[in-house]
Structure 1
C-alpha cells in the first residue's frame, strides 16, 4: 500500500510541476525562471532555486514521517524525492545536457520529451509558452520518433 502512495505522489507531481511551471515560473516567479530561457547558460541559474522549493516539502515530510506515527508522510516525501530525481535526470541531464551522461540517446520517448522542451524554449519570454510538463507531453511530439 505504501508503494502505491509513493507512486501516486510521483504521478501527481507531474501535475504540480505543470501548474508550477505555467503559473509560478511563467508568472510571479519569472524573475527566478527567466535566466533558464536565455540562449546560453552555464553553471547555476536563479532557476535552480526551484529545486530547493520542491525539496523543502519532501524533507519536511521525511522528518515528520520519521518522528511521528504517521509513517505515510515518509512515503509522500519519497514520491516527491523520486520525482525530483527523475526531473533532474530528464530535464537537466538529458534535455539541457548540463551533464554529458545521456548525450546520444536514441529512445523515441526521450526524443519526444526533448522535442517538446525545445518547443517550450522556442519562446524566450514569459508569455505564450507551451509544453509545461516534464514526463507527460502532448502525443504529437512522440509521433515522429516512434517506429
Structure 2
C-alpha cells in the first residue's frame, strides 16, 4: 500500500512540478530549448524541447536502477515520474499535438477542454504572455466551453 501511495503522490506532484517548470523555467531561462515547441509547424520529428522528456526519463531510470527492484522508496518515486511522463507523452504529444497518428480527435469533454487550454497556451509564439501551463489540470472555463460544444453537437 505504501508503494502505491508513493507512486500516486509522485504522479500528483509531477503535475504541479510540470506547471512550475513550464511557467518559470521553460518560459524563462530554458526558453532556448522550449522555443522549438512553440514554432509551428515543427520541421523535425524531434524538437529541442524533447530534451525535457529525456531528462525526466533519465531521472526516473536512475531511481529505478538504484531502487533495488522496489525495495527502496525512491524506486516508487521513479514509477510515479515514469507514469506521469507516459501520460504526458500520450496526451500532450499524442492527442494535443498529433504526434501519434492514431489519436488525433476525441469526443471526451475533459480531453477537448485540455486541447482548448493548450491552444490558448500556444496563442502567442513568444515566451511571454502565455497562459495555461499545466497538463492534466484544466481551467473550469475550458471545461464549460467543451461541455457547451458537446451539447451543441448533440442537438
TM-score range, shorter chain: over 0.9
Q: Give the Å deviation of 1:104.
A: 2.4
Deviating beyond 4 angstroms after TM superposition, the runs of 4 or more aligned structure 1 residues are none
Cα offsets for 1:66-112 (capped at 9, x unmatched): 17x95211111000000000000000000000111222210000000
TM-score by length of 1: 0.94
Give the alignment's Cα RMSD to 1 decimal: 1.4
- 5+ residue gaps, structure 2, are none
**Equivalent position of 1:61 in the other structure:** 63
Quote the Cα distance in structure 1 between the aligned partners of 2:142 and 2:24.
Answer: 23
1:2-30 Cα shifts (integer Å, max 9, x gaps): 10110110010000000110111101100
Q: Distance between the aligned counterparts of 2:49 and 2:64, measured in 1?
A: 24
Could you tell me the TM-score, scaled by structure 2's length? 0.89
Q: Give the number of equivalent residue pairs.
A: 146
Q: For residue 90 of structure 1, what is the aligned residue in structure 2? A: 91
Q: Gapped runs of 5+ residues in structure 1?
A: none
Matches of 1:45 and 1:111, distance apart in 2: 24
